[in-house]
Structure 1
Amino acid sequence: MERQSRRRRTLRRAVVGLVVGSLLLTSGVGGGGAAAQSADGLTFADASTTEPRGDVARLSLRIGDRDRLTLMVRAPDGAYDTRVRATDANDDGQVTVSVNTFQAGRTADESVAYAVGAGDRLTSVRRRTDRLDGSLPAGRYNLVAVAGSDSTSATLVVEPNRVGAATTATAPRDRLGGDAAAVPETERFATGRVAVGDHAVVSINASGLGGVLASTPPPGRNLVYPTDSMPGATTTHTVRIEATRMVEPETVTVEYDAGTPRRLGHLDADEVRRLGIDRDGDGIVERDLRSAVAAVESTEHTLRIDLSTDATLAANETLLVQYRATNPTEAGRYGVHAAVDGAVEHDGTVVYGVAGRGTLGYGIDLGVTTTGNRTVVDPLAAVTYHYADGRLYALLNTSALAAGERYGVGLIRWGVSPLAAETESTGASVQLTERRATVVAPTPETPPVAGGETTVRAETTLAPTTEVVVTVSDTGSNAFLFRRATRVGSDRRLAATFDLPESAAGRSVTVRIVDGGRVVGERRATAEANR
């Protein structure tokens, strides 16, 4: 029985090998052609799939009652050739293979560039060609799928990626739930002025980022973030120590397990550029502690800063430290330990090399700046992001930002990125305003009408479609209070109509615009009798 089983497996391999070989010849894979052909039940969902260089391409196949699949991805010039084997583990007759075009070809382990959908199993990935200098180049790639004795072919087109313009918009504060992933499907309104509390969205046309974002945690959220992570660079190291309890900071310690900056033992107080407390999560120091530095001690692996201050670091606040340092000569991911008085302690990482370049990694740098006289020390503190369909959506937490300030959101794709030939950048800015409304009617010149219709009109900074309550009231004898719910229009104007009693004639009427229980606009006017 075992001999018969082995014989069948050998025969199956021979058949598959024969089919693959003949298909490579007849479909023109070796010479660049990709004529679509398929057997019943085995077919690509799309004859051609197009993705920007660096994004993740999803190749869906219907395989019928077969349980195994071999997929070949090959450049017509033979510079890239990989074979992927997958199993339809959930027996639904379909397999989706994802190709991370950022990782494909450039890594020692090609399997990191491939995945299959939930319920299925990736059994092997074998690259038959040498490693590439960068990510999978733009161009056309032939796809051949084999299941049993059947085969089919299709094409993957990798387009050049791009960095384009950025636009700004807002959405009401009761939408999104702070989730940047919800931005693409949420109605937004183009504007460069956003009320504090409403959502500020910067949409950046930058294709080809999907593979990077799927491949690495953002270095900008690491415990220690070097602005320039390249080996040997003299740069700024930013340390973020989030407090889990209240503490009066007397000693700040940063200890590198490995990957220690060169000559760390010679670092002194002059190299400490910023030190203070971010109280509201905007990445900006509100309580500066540089003047409280009593001593700076450093050894081969450890930096210790002694403070003399009465400042308090509360739970959920962040101590920010920036100092100049020279990176080690070796790229890699290394452990770091940071502590405040030994009472607040964190273990984290620092990344050197191209993987750590930019806040999002691999040369992709997203950051928030302010045009005021304050400096954003923690570039990702007040922003979350989501990538979809060639756009990076940056969602600002305006509740942590200051009204009256202009904030910029920028993206840089540095030339060291495996996706880039040169450095490109883009960005946009938003002006934050107070939440307010200005009542433009009624006025003393156009007074409320007693015994008739009165339309209240207002202009507001609130995001369009925000629901507000308009009230008209009088607190004298025969007092009255009328309420109408309405929504802000796309032009940021609102209106509500009331029928006032005849008894209101000659009396002072108060009009209020109420947003979330808070009065954001008010006006008084004397009602006149209807004539």
Structure 2
Amino acid sequence: MATPTAAATDHAEIVPSVIRENQDDVVEIPMVVPEGSEGTLTLARGSYEQSVGFRDVNGDGRVTVTVNTFVANQVLSSGSGYRAADPDAVTEVRAQSTEPMATGNYEIRLSLSGTEQDVALVRLMPSRFNDVRTRAAPNGITVDSVKEVEFSASVPGRVARDDTVILEFHAEGIAGVGGFDDPPGRELIYANTSMPSASATHTIQLPGPEADGDGDERGNASFSSVRIDYDNGDGGVPNKLTNVKLRGLGVDADGDGRIDRPVRVERRSVTRSGRLALELTDEQSLAESETLLIRYSGVKNPGTTGTDAVSVSAGDHRVEGTVTYGRAGLGQFGNALSVDVTCADSQDPTAPMPFEHVVSPGDDRLYLVFSTSVCAEEAAEDARLDVTLRKDRLRNGVPTGQTKRLSTSVRLVESNATLELSEGRTTLEARTQTLEGQTTLAPGSRMTIRVRSADEPSPQLVEYSGVVNENGAFRTRVDFSAFRSGSTVEVVPVANGRQIGDVHRVRIGDG
């Protein structure tokens, strides 16, 4: 969207004159106004009408008012969902009706001091879940912004174990729904379901201590017991903690959402209302980079909604956090926007969000970034990761049973490379050769061809590199002149520091 230019006169206008957005997304209404002025925006369609007062706080002559159409439809009578982009401000919202903000054309009237300055149009269109694509990023690339997604490439439903899986969801109508900056699925305790008084499964995600925190000087915590306190001073506690069933307990050592070191419980007890204690069979340790995961079912949520203070202690290592009940806590992203992650050939990950996420509201994209170890490597030669993005429609904060979803499956295959060399029968007459091959690694990966002496008393070793293209092919120019004529060498494909293909033995000719 173009940035409006500050006005030089007392005139005000909305730029552009026609704004298109999808239902449940966030509508942006940019305006050029006199510097430091106050004004009113009125949105109207049929019996729907909302008036929004705004102020140009920093005096730059530009104000953008945003309308979260999802929030506006959930709380109909309060004028909720209207904001001004920082540092400007919305001064008041006058709800002229309690009608929902349905799809259709809305007239926007901009007024200063009661005088109408400009009229524009918002076209609010139905939102759709369009498609999902599988992308792969080379090993070692961190993907935590849309710009870094550009280092990945679309692949046909399979990703090598050394690479990173990126799922690109083209889903309209989620930008106003999801709590992407601070999602419920990353809270200290995540409740699934989060509905009041419902029977739920709770998952604890206790991070390791910082190096200068309450562990030892290396940032390690030793513990033989765990204390879960739902009260934490604010009185909000679930029921039936004595009847919970433990579904998973252990340490995630590498951040992929799976338990790497299982922990056994000797006994458990409810020491008082809202406090669950677990005594372990052995003393355990938790490093700074690790997470203690605990999942148990059969909890009855409290009958209230909102964010509740909680704390979890592993020995002397104590962390305070929150758990969210009600509509805002439904699904990992909140407001009934959730992600189902399953592994077809192994146990599912324990963490609620075994992925990182990047959101791009401008083009309705949500990227989920997975480590390929999210599904256990020993489960099968080719494991399968199944992922579904799901959005449940809400009415009065309760799911209606109407659901939009996008699903995909990704095969997690072994890292492998093949060279176009005939095993045992090749003689290299020319000392400089172009070697070609195919690999399962992601496009953009660096492939190394390692050449070493096979029959010399003092073996020599040389390496040459190439880059994998979008078709999984690679090629590199190799100079064999360092090796004696008539000798035999071994040619090996290597990536990420290890051999990923067969060893080819070839003889150096006289060329």
Partners in 1 of 2:105 and 2:453 — Cα distance? Answer: 73
Match of 1:259 among 236, 253, 260: 236
SS in 1 for 2:159: strand
* Mapped contact 1:442–1:448 kept (Cα < 8 A): no
Partners in 2 of 1:138 and 1:448 — Cα distance? Answer: 71
CA shift at 1:517, angstroms?
4.3
SS in 2 for 1:72: strand
The question of 1:53 aligning with 2:33 is answered: no
* Mapped contact 1:482–1:498 kept (Cα < 8 A): no
RMSD over aligned Cα, in angstroms?
3.0
CA shift at 1:320, angstroms?
1.9
SS in 1 for 2:257: coil
Match of 1:396 among 340, 362, 370: 370
CA shift at 1:64, angstroms?
5.2
Equivalent residues in 2 for 1:114-129, closer than 5 Å:
114-129=82-97
SS in 2 for 1:527: strand
Match of 2:14 among 35, 44, 50: 44
Question: Counterpart in 2 of 1:212?
Answer: 177
Deviations 1:245-302 (A, max 9, x none): 43443221111123311233xx14x622322222222222233334x32233353221
The question of 1:444 aligning with 2:409 is answered: no
Match of 1:429 among 396, 409, 429: 409
Partners in 1 of 2:435 and 2:117 — Cα distance? Answer: 70
* Mapped contact 1:138–1:158 kept (Cα < 8 A): yes
Partners in 2 of 1:67 and 1:457 — Cα distance? Answer: 66
Partners in 1 of 2:270 and 2:54 — Cα distance? Answer: 56
Structure-2-length-normalised TM-score: 0.84
Equivalent residues in 2 for 1:191-210, closer than 5 Å:
191-210=156-175
Question: Counterpart in 1 of 2:386?
Answer: 408
Match of 1:360 among 303, 326, 333: 333
Match of 1:77 among 35, 43, 46: 46
Question: Counterpart in 1 of 2:105?
Answer: 140
| Equivalenced residues, count | 481
Partners in 1 of 2:421 and 2:367 — Cα distance? Answer: 38
More off after superposition, 64-73 vs 496-505:
496-505
Structure 2 residue runs without a partner (length 5+): 1-8, 210-214
* Mapped contact 1:335–1:349 kept (Cα < 8 A): yes
Question: Counterpart in 2 of 1:500?
Answer: 480
* Mapped contact 1:219–1:359 kept (Cα < 8 A): yes
The structure with more helix, counted as a fraction of residues = 1
Deviations 1:95-138 (A, max 9, x none): 22211111125337857522223443333333222375xxx322
Question: Counterpart in 1 of 2:137?
Answer: 171
The question of 1:466 aligning with 2:435 is answered: no
CA shift at 1:180, angstroms?
4.2
* Mapped contact 1:450–1:500 kept (Cα < 8 A): no
SS in 2 for 1:129: coil
Partners in 1 of 2:53 and 2:60 — Cα distance? Answer: 17
* Mapped contact 2:251–2:260 kept (Cα < 8 A): yes
Question: Counterpart in 1 of 2:291?
Answer: 318
Structure-1-length-normalised TM-score: 0.81
SS in 1 for 2:451: strand
The question of 1:328 aligning with 2:302 is answered: yes
Structure 1 274/131 Cα, relative in aligned 2: closer, same or farther at 3 Å?
farther
Q: Which amino acid aligns with 2:230?
A: Y
Deviations 1:310-330 (A, max 9, x none): 443333322222222111222
* Mapped contact 2:208–2:286 kept (Cα < 8 A): yes
* Mapped contact 1:441–1:455 kept (Cα < 8 A): no
State percent identity of aligned pairs: 27
* Mapped contact 1:204–1:427 kept (Cα < 8 A): no
- Between Structure 1 and Structure 2, whose CA radius of gyration is higher? 1
Structure 1 residue runs without a partner (length 5+): 1-38
Question: Counterpart in 1 of 2:465?
Answer: 485
Match of 2:55 among 73, 84, 87: 87
Structure 1 441/421 Cα, relative in aligned 2: closer, same or farther at 3 Å?
same
Q: Which amino acid aligns with 1:130?
A: T
